[in-house]
Structure 1
Amino acid sequence: MSPPEPRVVEALNRALHRLFTERPGLHLLGEDVLDPYGGAFKVTKGLSTAHPDRVLTTPLSEAGIAGVAGGLALAGDEVVLEVMFGDFAALMFDEVLNLISKSVTMYGHTVPMRIVVRCPVGGGRGYGPTHSQSVQKHFLGIPNLSLYETTPFHDPYGLLSHALGNGPAMLFEDKVLYTRRMFTDDEVFRCSLVGSAPGWAHVTSPGPADVVLVCPGGVAHRALAAARRLVAQGVTVHLLVPGRLHPLELDDVLPLLGAARLIAVAEESTAGGTWGADVAALLYERLWHDLRSPVLRLSSADSIIPSARHLEERVLLGEEHIVNAVLDALREPVRVHGVERVGEERIGEVVDVVPPSTGVPVTAPKLNNNDETYLVLAWLVEDGDAVEPDTPLVELETSKAVEVIEAGATGHVRQLAPVNAEVGVGDVLAEVVSEPHTPAPHTSAPHTPAPQATEAPTVAQPSTVAHASTVAQPSTVAQAADTVADARTYVLDKAQRGTAAVVTRAHREVPAAFTAVEVAVDALTERLRRFSNDSGAEVGLPEAVVKAVAAAHPDFAHLFGTLVGDDVVAVPDVPHVAVTMDAGNGLYTPVIRDCGQRSIVDIADDMMDLRMKAWRGEFTAAELSGGTITVSLNNDEGVLLVQPIVMWPQVCMVSVGGPRPQVVIEDGVPVQRTVVTLGLAYDHRVVNGRDAIAFLRVIAESLSDAQRLDKLVD
């Protein structure tokens, strides 16, 4: 098996090392770039050790750094300047605009200014308003200044070489890309470079393009994820990603763009004066007679970027935004008459008919496998209000989350399901009608107040914030005990009732067996400690177990399957690992997607985000659905063994106990080591004991064997 592609940060680091070897006049300037720190994102790791005279750490003055870089370039040297965060490039704007860029041509002859300003940009990491911005648009159109952006498709060495040869230049590096690997072809998408260096990455799915997504490298992973979802719905998508943002060469990709039904330009910056607007303007000039629809421009919300991750997700352009916007644009000029949910993904149904005049129904979708009914928690619009497609209409509460149901057509809403009503999958919640109507009096489902508790209770009010979900807080409403004297009882809250339903169904329907093994984790603990120090990520035993479980998928795919009927097993192509989380307000099992192909750093980032959502109770139904196997994390010290359940329709759950000391005899000498117990509960209809033991041994070896451990962490 060939080794995996390097992460983008590793590719950047290798490119810099190669350039420093090839170019004796190259210098690197920046804050905290010296070893052992190696820069805020470890891009410059090892450079100061290999080239101590040419890698210079600087004071905290971006203006000063840029001024020195300009002076070195005027003297004939080459400079790579690292800005710790791209947001701080605003502090060197004067030097870039009035010194570095103008020096090329303001002395009566051309002066080579071989400077590349490296700027980590973008959100998605919870760094807040002043450390998460995409500032590319503020440097567009400055004479003599070239703009580049790292991508998963372009070799960073080629980008940096081209930038130094066509400087002055700025290289924008999306921070989320650092931990992602360079792209390799897969069963759906193939990538080729089009045009002269640095060229366009053309990522194709089979067939001519219905949609061409044009985006800079930092948005590429979101655009690619959106493209996969669109392809699954029958929409053929091609992706175009330039290595150089400005000046932009379009000639080599115009034929592809001109043949598309829709062109969408997606970028993370806020709208107004953007790269995407520049692309659209050029396309209108060059392809006016070939365009079948207006160029769709997609940006982040007109807002500062919040620190809270759940709020940050609402502001920044995301995969869901791209999918919905493309589907809406493809429906024009006829609006789709409904929205259907399949699995955990929200998809649109593209039709060519006018919605029926009797009204477009809004139905309760299937939100998870645990609940047969949902509670109508709150209406987000008034009865009779005018709505557009994607207008948030109503909140449905499941046992674990609150899901917002949106309109799928233009018209006026007619509410049919009252607040507090229990509705099933497919039940009609409302209709969207063409003409205004007289709203019916507000009614609620019958509700009998519970007796008051003997101790002063506080009843948590349900949240009605659109696009965020909440978990019902434990009820403090108590009622008199009829069967136990002097006892105080309470009613299980909806979250715990959901857990009870899952457990009950598991014990009723799944003939479960259980196997456990013991694994020493001393080498793992030390390896993760060193890796965390080197990478800046917080990686521990839970992340390693999730990665090890996912890594076993190719050899044990049926353990990740679903029993369909009595004797048919549906086997997934990729592992989606659910993990148990309990922050004191209910047990959740959020899902980490496609763990097999992702780095342990990516998994650690996802798990940290999920822990915060568990603490706040902010999961959506989609985040709790779609797992192919579950890992039960019980790794507090002193926990010897946990026997998990099997969460139907899955067939296996892995449990992790707490670390504990153990004394063993090695070569006749007592030796202390640290061990944990790995357990596997499995559906005995699908999995036999032999496979269970082999599966656990593979996971244990991944966590203890030195060679496998390096592969796991890498």
Structure 2
Amino acid sequence: MTRPAPRVVEALNAALHRLFEERSSLHLLGEDVLDPYGGAFKVTRGLSTRHPERVLSTPISEAGITGVAGGLALAGDQAIVEMMFGDFAALAFDQLLNLISKSVTMYGDRMPMPVVVRCPVGGNRGYGPTHSQSLQKHFLGVPNLALYETSPFHDPYAQLVEGLDGGPAMLFEDKVLYAQRMFRDGVVDEHHGYALLGGPTGWAHVTPVDGAAADVVLICPGGTAHRALHAARLLRARGLVAHILVPARLYPPDLEPVLSLLADARLVAVAEESTEGGTWGAEIAAQVHTRIWARLRAPVLLLSSADSVVPTAPHLEAGVLLGAVRIADEIEATAARPLPLHAPAAPLVAAGPETAGTVAGEPRAAEPEGAEPVVGVPVAVPKLNNNDTAYVVLQWFADEGAHMDEGDPLVELETSKAVEEIAAPAAGYLRVRAAEGSEVGVGELLAELLTEPPAAPALTASAERVAALRSAAAPVAPSAQEPGPAARTHVLDRAQQGTAAVVTRAHREVPVAFAAVEVTADAVLARLRTLSDETGAEVGLPEAVVKAVAAAHPAFPHLFGTLVDERTVRLADTVDIGVTVDAGNGLYIPVLRDCAARSLADISDDLMDFRMKALRAEFTAGELSGGSLSVSLNTEPGVLFVQPIVMAPQLCMVSVGGPLTRFVLTDGVPTSATVVTLGLAYDHRVVNGRDAVAFLRAVADALHDAEQLVKLVD
């Protein structure tokens, strides 16, 4: 049986043990680094037992610790300093700047300074403003001081060796990485592989396994690597291919091995967790611009956390720190071409009286008799989601007659669940054909982009004609049904109208059957509490159910398909699961992407982001579409079970009830147990009861069977 790759903390610990065996003059200094504690994050575990005279637990004085390390180096020894939290490296800044780094060259001859200062950094653990920062940018540009960052791709032994031999150096270790496993043998997951460019302390180049060329090259340090991978999956679903570059050494950077890759990309972006302003990304951008400006198609896009302290509350912390969804959204918005979710995939074809054009595969009705002919490049209403057939024009971003470039923001449309921005599919002068506030159907004409400025606005006549047509076609309600002056009414908002349309279609079109099982949840709830403490992520039953459902995909692929016609089911390549979110202002079903390949902590981060977006009603259509199966989360205590609907063209929806207490007999003794009801609504045209029950049992087993639970969580 192949042993799993070590976790990053284990790789760091093994590297330190190896270095202490090889280097008799090496010392380690830090607070609480002695066994059995082994440091705040257990990186130094076992070292003091094997090398008691060279591992020194020090008083709480970061400046003092670092000064002693510098003295050891000047005396001919070697030293590694552990900052309990990287935030406290600010207290050692004077020693690093004015003693250790200057001592290399200020005595006439070049002095070896084999000192490495290790700094656990980063947020997403709920540790608050003074224990969650990424301070890398504050040490950039210090003469003779090299900066490294751990990553799941690079052997920390090679980083420490290079840091000591070429010292002084700092090694930044993102705390969230400690629990993640190293990647090895060039494999990231079923969708991505990697290769090292420029040697063991060079760049990890992450590419899709299908060999697709890069639209975007995303550069990020190791602590951001998993978020970058998530963003790459999101971008692939939106039609953009992202390659990822992860350096072992942050500063000084060696761009030579990756320059040709950067020059060939449509867009280069840098993502890091440091707050904006004076960042490592700005340093990378400056060097890229200097080296290959003539070959770049756009300036380097810089992505960093918000200009803020890092809050303790998880939902506020997530709003400050750079996350995968924001990385993907900003890259998508900055990409040099209109994207499928923001503009029709191809321009609308002007049609004669006998034919109609199409937009993104949707039929467009012929213009009404007497309508003005379409000229220039038409801009038609794209299909933004499966719930709606019409949207509201919120606002135009340019005036009638303004010149637009391809990709410029053109108009904002409101769906029942989101607000979507439509980009100009070509360059030209804007001629508006749909007024702000009007409702437009899929395929209808929004505007035209003309080669010459329009002679006169066309909006008024067009809007009046559309209004007249709709008025003539609208049925007149009987007066007896109109509420009187004293009648009390409740008017459904657009979000609820969208929900109504979806459930009406589901009940009308899908022959739904239902099955349910009860699963004992004590073991999984206990393991999730431990995992939350270990990772700092708020991991609960919803995340575990999503992972358990995703784990059942290989055995039940047809349950994750979509119905193409009466006899054909399109199977899903990745497990993209929709989850119900209701913050009191409408029901949303955003989609968690590639759930099988991602950790529970990653899924937890996305669910937290979804809850905040539901509260603010700011989902994009892309986040609400593309799921292969949905999960209805109703995990409040006391909820027995919920019978969900099936979201056509999906075939299944899983429901999760709340935890309930049951008394069961264990060896003849009554004991209490926590149980949860799992339900499955399924399209009986494709799925039969036998498969439905087997699927539910597989999900239940993953949640309570000890061996499967370990696989699910790890």
TM bucket, shorter chain:
0.7 to 0.9
Residue in 1 that maps onto 2:369: none
Q: Is the 8 A contact 2:659 2:675 kept in 1?
A: yes
AA paired with 1:242? P
| Alignment equivalent of 1:246, drawn from 226, 231, 251 | 251
TM-score, normalised with respect to structure 2: 0.79
Distance 1:264 1:675 in 2: 49
The structural deviation recorded for 1:595 is: 1.0
Residue in 2 that maps onto 1:319: 328
Residue in 2 that maps onto 1:473: none
Distance 1:348 1:98 in 2: 58
Greater shift, 640-649 or 211-220, is seen at 211-220
Q: Is the 8 A contact 1:133 1:305 kept in 2?
A: no
The structural deviation recorded for 1:115 is: 2.5
AA paired with 2:622? A
Structure 1 residue 552 corresponds to structure 2 residue 555 = no
Structure 2 SS opposite 1:370: coil
Structure 1 residue 376 corresponds to structure 2 residue 381 = no
Distance 1:484 1:414 in 2: 43
Structure 1 residue 217 corresponds to structure 2 residue 218 = no
Greater shift, 206-215 or 103-112, is seen at 206-215
Structure 1 SS opposite 2:699: helix
Structure 1 residue 191 corresponds to structure 2 residue 194 = yes
**Alignment deviations for residues 119-149 of structure 1 (CA, whole Å, 9 cap, x no partner):** 4556788999988776545433433211222
Q: Is the 8 A contact 1:66 1:95 kept in 2?
A: yes
Residue in 2 that maps onto 1:399: 416
Residues 632, 72 of structure 1: CA spacing in aligned structure 2 closer, same or farther, 3 A cutoff?
farther
Unaligned runs of 5+ in 2: 311-315, 348-373, 469-478
The structural deviation recorded for 1:570 is: 0.9
Residues 583, 270 of structure 1: CA spacing in aligned structure 2 closer, same or farther, 3 A cutoff?
closer
The structural deviation recorded for 1:658 is: 1.4
Residues 360, 221 of structure 1: CA spacing in aligned structure 2 closer, same or farther, 3 A cutoff?
farther
Residues 620, 660 of structure 1: CA spacing in aligned structure 2 closer, same or farther, 3 A cutoff?
same
Give 1:417-566 correspondences, 5 Å limit.
417-433=434-450, 436=453, 488-566=488-566
Structure 1 residue 619 corresponds to structure 2 residue 619 = yes
Residue in 1 that maps onto 2:94: 94
Structure 2 SS opposite 1:371: coil
Distance 1:579 1:384 in 2: 43
Give 1:334-345 correspondences, 5 Å limit.
339-341=338-340
TM-score, normalised with respect to structure 1: 0.79
Residues 589, 663 of structure 1: CA spacing in aligned structure 2 closer, same or farther, 3 A cutoff?
same
Q: Is the 8 A contact 2:234 2:593 kept in 1?
A: no
Distance 1:349 1:179 in 2: 45
Q: Is the 8 A contact 1:199 1:242 kept in 2?
A: yes
Residues 491, 120 of structure 1: CA spacing in aligned structure 2 closer, same or farther, 3 A cutoff?
same
Count the aligned residue pairs.
658
**Alignment deviations for residues 202-257 of structure 1 (CA, whole Å, 9 cap, x no partner):** 34456696668372434555665666678789988765443223344455556x55
Distance 1:225 1:127 in 2: 24
Distance 2:174 2:161 in 1: 19
Structure 1 residue 628 corresponds to structure 2 residue 628 = yes
AA paired with 2:328? E
Residues 533, 647 of structure 1: CA spacing in aligned structure 2 closer, same or farther, 3 A cutoff?
same
The alignment's C-alpha RMSD in Å is: 4.3
Distance 1:148 1:511 in 2: 58
**Alignment deviations for residues 445-467 of structure 1 (CA, whole Å, 9 cap, x no partner):** 869xxxxxxxxxxxxxxxxxxxx
Greater shift, 68-77 or 632-641, is seen at 68-77
Distance 2:240 2:581 in 1: 36
Greater shift, 104-113 or 649-658, is seen at 104-113
Distance 2:498 2:393 in 1: 16
Residue in 2 that maps onto 1:469: none
Q: Is the 8 A contact 2:238 2:340 kept in 1?
A: no
**Alignment deviations for residues 463-489 of structure 1 (CA, whole Å, 9 cap, x no partner):** xxxxxxxxxxxxxxxx99758998622
Residues 490, 391 of structure 1: CA spacing in aligned structure 2 closer, same or farther, 3 A cutoff?
same
Residue in 2 that maps onto 1:585: 585
AA paired with 1:318? I
The structural deviation recorded for 1:369 is: 0.9
Q: Is the 8 A contact 2:189 2:597 kept in 1?
A: no
The structural deviation recorded for 1:621 is: 1.6
Residue in 1 that maps onto 2:113: 113
The structural deviation recorded for 1:583 is: 1.6
Structure 1 residue 78 corresponds to structure 2 residue 79 = yes
The structural deviation recorded for 1:704 is: 0.9
Q: Is the 8 A contact 2:86 2:135 kept in 1?
A: no
Residue in 2 that maps onto 1:458: none
Distance 1:50 1:446 in 2: 83
Q: Is the 8 A contact 1:212 1:257 kept in 2?
A: no
AA paired with 1:153? F
Residue in 2 that maps onto 1:169: 169
The structural deviation recorded for 1:370 is: 0.9
The structural deviation recorded for 1:692 is: 1.2
The structural deviation recorded for 1:683 is: 0.9
Residues 275, 85 of structure 1: CA spacing in aligned structure 2 closer, same or farther, 3 A cutoff?
closer
Distance 1:382 1:57 in 2: 67
| Alignment equivalent of 1:366, drawn from 358, 370, 383 | 383
Structure 2 SS opposite 1:365: coil
The structural deviation recorded for 1:516 is: 0.9
Greater shift, 163-172 or 634-643, is seen at 163-172
Structure 2 SS opposite 1:527: helix
